[in-house]
Chain A
Amino acid sequence: MIREARVKCIVCPIGCEITVTLRNGEILSIKGNRCVRGAEYARQEVLEPKRMLITVIKVRGGNLPVVSVKTLKPIPKKLISKAIEALANLEVEAPIKVGDTVMKNLLDLGVDVVATRSVNRLRREESLQ
């Protein structure tokens, strides 16, 4: 079966409309891209789209109640909602340094989740404010 998938390229501001033709899940042609990066993006987007996951998780005893986190690598788009559920009830203890791993091997994808900010322990003089 031959099908066509349309991909709006995000590699650069030009935003090419790329058409990918597939037969039984195999790519026959990629058209409409102006560069090789666009072709690679379209190929990935059609075969297995991936995204970075960014969210916040709870912090105990921190000078902020949550810490922002990211996956170290993009993960399959279709697993984003599963991944966010896996992180929903995670809680970490302050202090946290930027780059600290807050979850290893998210959903067995081989991708770690790391903190993207430092959160110090709440000191008494701060809590008075």
Chain B
Amino acid sequence: MVKEIRCDLIVIGGGAAGLAAAAKAKRLGVGRVILVDSSPYMGRLLGGILPQCIHPGFGLQYFKEELTGPEFAERLVKQVYDLGVEMLTESYASDLRYSEDNVEVIAISPKGVIRLDGKALIYAAGARERSIFEIGVVGYRPAGVFTAGETQALMDLFGVMPGKEMVIIGSGDVGLIMARRFALEGADVKAVVELMPWPGGLTRNVVQCLEDFGIPLLLSHMVTKILGRRRVAGVEVVKVNEDLKPVSGTEKVLECDTVVVAAGIVPKAELLEEAGALIDRATHGPIVNDFLETTLHNVFAAGNALIINDLVDHAAEQGERAAESVAYILEGGEIPHEGVKKVVLGRNVRLAMPQRVTGLKDVYLHVRVKKPEENVRLVVRELGLEVKMPRVRPAEMIRLPIRRDRIAAIGDSKLTVSVEAE
């Protein structure tokens, strides 16, 4: 028999965004809030990816002090329990069914299958790592190939060293941070191999994780092949040209026993997509308006399930923003869906979120550029808004605050965001 629970708000995901959303909703007086989280070990590791991110750099904005990932997680977890959020831990949201006035979630829990009926949903299921299969590496499939997150869980939750000689594919922040962890714990990091001509991660991490330890960063290089039958024996790397195509004659072999794939993360939005929400092909997350409402009314999204964030503080802030929207509609507030302005991507803009704006909310327009540039202006043409930017980089999300009255004051049906030369 399927147990049924009715509630006001269902939150899917117990990472930074989901926990912050649930806590904020309770603070704003939302009645029954149920949070579904799939992490194992009886909720001991609640906090999404935070418990294994043991480095500092979290919380400067959200908690106004610098914390490590597990510290950030413990604070948020304490808040949700103290505020009376009901937690369904070790539970997997397997199905999302949607109608205009009800959101139904099927949760597979240790206590059996539970059907949750909610007036609103905040979807904060986080992201997943890109795998070796998604980045075009051929060769054998020996032991010793991990994603960066897997090695992080092995080392920093379970004290297991995944290898001795590492090659890291991709220079995003997780890859850089793991390079430092490997080096600190005595492994030999042979190289970080990056396809693009610039590093994928923050300058801070390039300096403190690679340069501090003398780890080579091979820009404009790709791993073409994994060598070794039973265990990884090495990788073949090759230089790439401006079109990211291999330059023949530049192939070389790096010997190693472990390959770590740090090729970025992608929002886990499948459940939303199956339920009918429109997905943005640029962000890979759902299309949302300035209330962070998806194209399914009363269904909101936050955190890395919505857009890949640079900082956990921003994921948590999106959770709170989604919770404010839920409190607003539960009190009878209406979110307009007609006459909403579309955000259009202009020159050197890879993605923008929210993709729609009503003009009823002050908004942080999240923008990521396609390529690095210096001395440029970020422009929203219809608003006559221009901000000087000494430097823009794909690794760094731009968050442009825009006041609602400014948006509401114009008649245009779109906002075009672009990066223009000075």
Contacts and interface: CB of A to CB of B under 8 A. Distances in A.
A19 interface: no
Given A13-B202, A51-B208, A68-B156, 5 more contacts: A14-B391, A52-B56, A56-B155, A98-B74, A116-B54
Contacts of B393: 13
Contacts of A84: 184-185
B44 A63 contact: yes
A64 B185 contact: no
A129 B90 CA distance: 13
B390 A14 contact: yes
A118 interface: yes
A8 B207 contact: yes
Contact of A70 (B56, B158, B211): B56
B159 A10 contact: no
Contact of A117 (B41, B71, B208): B71
B396 interface: yes
Contacts of A9: 203
A58 B67 CA distance: 21
B369 to A, nearest CB: 12
Given A54-B68, A68-B54, A63 B41 contact: yes
Interface of A: 8-10, 13-15, 34, 51-52, 54-56, 58, 63-66, 68, 70, 77, 80, 84, 98, 116-118, 120, 126, 129
A84 to B, nearest CB: 6
B390 to A, nearest CB: 5
Between A64, A65, A117, the greatest number of chain B beta carbons within 10 A of the residue's beta carbon is seen for A117
Contacts of A118: 74
Q: Could you say which interface size class chain B belongs to?
A: 20 to 34
Nearest to A55: B184
Interface string B130-171: 000000000000000000000000011111000000000000
Contacts of B70: 68, 98, 116-117
Interface of B: 41-42, 44, 51, 54-56, 67-68, 70-71, 73-74, 155-159, 184-185, 202-204, 206-208, 211-212, 390-391, 393, 396
A126 B42 contact: yes
Contacts of B41: 63, 126, 129
A117 B52 CA distance: 10
Contacts of A98: 70-71, 74
A54 B159 contact: no
B151 to A, nearest CB: 13
A116 B68 contact: yes
B174 to A, nearest CB: 15
Contacts of B56: 52, 54, 70
B358 to A, nearest CB: 30
17 contacts: A8-B203, A8-B207, A9-B203, A10-B203, A10-B204, A13-B391, A15-B203, A34-B390, A55-B54, A55-B185, A56-B54, A66-B156, A116-B68, A116-B70, A117-B70, A117-B74, A120-B44
Contacts of A56: 54, 155-156, 159
Contacts of B67: 116
Contacts of B391: 13-15
Between A9, A15, A63, A84, the greatest number of chain B beta carbons within 10 A of the residue's beta carbon is seen for A15
Nearest to B205: A10
Contacts of A116: 54, 67-68, 70-71
A51 B212 contact: yes
Contacts of A15: 203, 391
Contacts of A55: 54, 184-185
Contact of B159 (A58, A70, A80, A129): A58
B208 A10 contact: yes
Contacts of B396: 13
Nearest to B66: A52
Contacts of A129: 41
Nearest to B392: A13
Contacts of A120: 44
